[in-house]
Amino acid sequence: MTRVETGIASIGLHLPPLAMPVEELAALRGVDPDKYLIGLGCSEISLCPPEFGIVDLASEAARRALSRWDGELEDIGMIAVGTETAVDMSRPLSAFVAEELGLVGHIRSYEVKHACYGGTLALRQACEWRMSGAARDKAALVVAADIALYEQGDPGEPTQGAGAVAFVVDRPEIATVGLDSHTWSEPAFDFYRPVGESYPRVDGKLSLECYKKAAVECFNALAEGRNPAEVMERFSAICFHVPFPKMVRKAFHLVGEVAGWSAEKVQQLYSEKVEPSMLWNRLSGNSYTASLWIAVANALQGLKPGEQVAAFSYGSGFGSEILSLIAGPRAKDADWAQDIERDIARRGRVDASAYNLLRSSVRTAAA
């Protein structure tokens, strides 16, 4: 078995065909819109019409990633899909996506579940599989896709969203995924969806505490006794899983506080390296497994070879990991940006009454 150069060779993104500004939801719930816009940092909620589901979302992102890769379907030896929007307790989402793509043959196909962390695990496993030599130089197709929908009136409702990111893991044309990552996990019931239930049970405040603890543990491990601010400075961007942007702000500020940075230093690093990466997340809403990778895709745009991006992944339950990516020669092309820009330009706008109708159709389908 031979070790081969490994990393992200192409990226495809997809957002569903509908969206609602959070102001519409605020009007419906009788809440000051600034609570959602400023208090949570949200802007728009991506929504799926009744005929559009997770298989459509994941498959289209995969098609787009494949269309930008110079290999053939026959060169794919693994498809791994990270999701918490499973459509079956046994049949993996990867089988539904493979069916859409016509992907058949000597392929390892599976679904990965660990709340919002599942896509990161799938990507890591694909990289490790290739680097171990077990892939025999075949490529992997990795998809992170989710539809985040809460019970109507749930405090998490303004953070809803949907989205998918797909990667072909092959030669590192766009980025190398560093194997030197740092993990932290700790069993908790901060966010979970028991079998047979349509919506997650969310202890929002607890989830925020778990997320902050995970961020502090992972960033401390990353710094490993070095000056943490200097470690941060070497990254062109520091990306987070984005349940909603304010959560990221709170976690990053705590990381800075624990590291002993001045308030000015924390604000400077946040404004320069964290906040810009969340531009697309504000328009997609939470997309669970895809959320971090939408931020990373945004941050990789236009980077020069060798520039680095940090990626903090968190999944309730809870598990977390911080990875670093190193830009390759094709990061500067950023051809994946057009996916998001086109989807956003084309998507239909939903007002409060259309949202009510949409939710009643979802409820019927889930019943």
CA dihedral 89, 90, 95, 99 (to 10 degrees): -80
Residues of this chain, 251-290, that bind ligand COA according to CB under 6 A = 286
The secondary element (H helix, E strand) that includes residue 111 is: strand 108-112
Q: How many Cβ atoms are within 10 Å of 178's Cβ, its own excluded?
A: 15
Which of 12, 16, 21, 156 is close enough to bind ligand COA by CB under 6 A?
156
**Is residue 320 near ligand COA by the rule CB under 6 A?**
no
**Is residue 82 near ligand COA by the rule CB under 6 A?**
no
Size of the site for ligand COA (CB under 6 A): 21
Handedness of CA 163, 169, 173, 178 (dihedral sign): positive
**Is residue 152 near ligand COA by the rule CB under 6 A?**
no
- Taking Cα atoms as reference points, which of 94, 144, 176 lies closest to residue 289? 144
Which of 69, 191, 252, 355 is close enough to bind ligand COA by CB under 6 A?
191
Complex with ligand COA: residue 240 or 261, whichever CB lies closer = 240
What are 135's two structure tokens?
A: 């892939």
Task: Please answer whether residues 212 and 251 qualify as being in contact, where contact means their C-beta atoms are separated by less than 8 angstroms.
Answer: yes
**Is residue 215 near ligand COA by the rule CB under 6 A?**
no
The SS3 call for residue 247 is helix
Taking the complex as a whole, the smallest distance from the CB of residue 148 to ligand COA amounts, in Å, to 8
Gap between the Cα atoms of 60 and 295, Å rounded: 19
**Is residue 83 near ligand COA by the rule CB under 6 A?**
no
Reply yes or no on whether 84 is catalytic: yes
Complex with ligand COA: residue 96 or 240, whichever CB lies closer = 240
Task: Please answer whether residues 338 and 298 qualify as being in contact, where contact means their C-beta atoms are separated by less than 8 angstroms.
Answer: no
Phi, psi of 127 (to 5 degrees): -65, -45
**Is residue 189 near ligand COA by the rule CB under 6 A?**
no
The region of 49-57, 67-75, 207-215, 323-331 touching ligand COA under the rule CB under 6 A is 207-215
- CA distances (Å), origin 78, targets 8, 51, 88: 14, 28, 20
Complex with ligand COA: residue 241 or 273, whichever CB lies closer = 241
The region of 27-35, 45-53, 161-169, 225-233 touching ligand COA under the rule CB under 6 A is 27-35
Complex with ligand COA: residue 40 or 135, whichever CB lies closer = 40
Which of 42, 48, 116, 218 does the annotation list as catalytic? 116
Which of 312, 314, 336, 355 is close enough to bind ligand COA by CB under 6 A?
314
Neighbour-count burial of 349, counting CB atoms closer than 10 A to its CB (0-12 exposed, 13-18 middle, 19+ buried): exposed
Complex with ligand COA: residue 33 or 71, whichever CB lies closer = 33
Which of 69, 167, 184, 211 is close enough to bind ligand COA by CB under 6 A?
211
> Residue 288: CB partners within 8 Å, gap ≥ 6?
83, 84, 85, 115, 116, 146, 148
Rg of the chain (C-alpha set): 19
Which of 116, 127, 177, 340 is close enough to bind ligand COA by CB under 6 A?
116
**Is residue 46 near ligand COA by the rule CB under 6 A?**
no
**Is residue 317 near ligand COA by the rule CB under 6 A?**
no
The region of 30-38, 94-102, 162-170, 219-227 touching ligand COA under the rule CB under 6 A is 30-38
- The residue behind tokens 């490994």 is 6
Which of 24, 44, 60, 84 does the annotation list as catalytic? 84
> Residue 20: CB partners within 8 Å, gap ≥ 6?
44, 45, 47, 349, 350, 351, 352, 354, 355
Which of 239, 241, 307, 321 does the annotation list as catalytic? 241
Q: Which residues are catalytic?
A: 84, 116, 241
Point out which residues bind ligand COA (CB under 6 A).
32, 34-35, 38-40, 116, 155-156, 159, 191, 202, 204-205, 207-208, 211, 243, 286, 314, 316
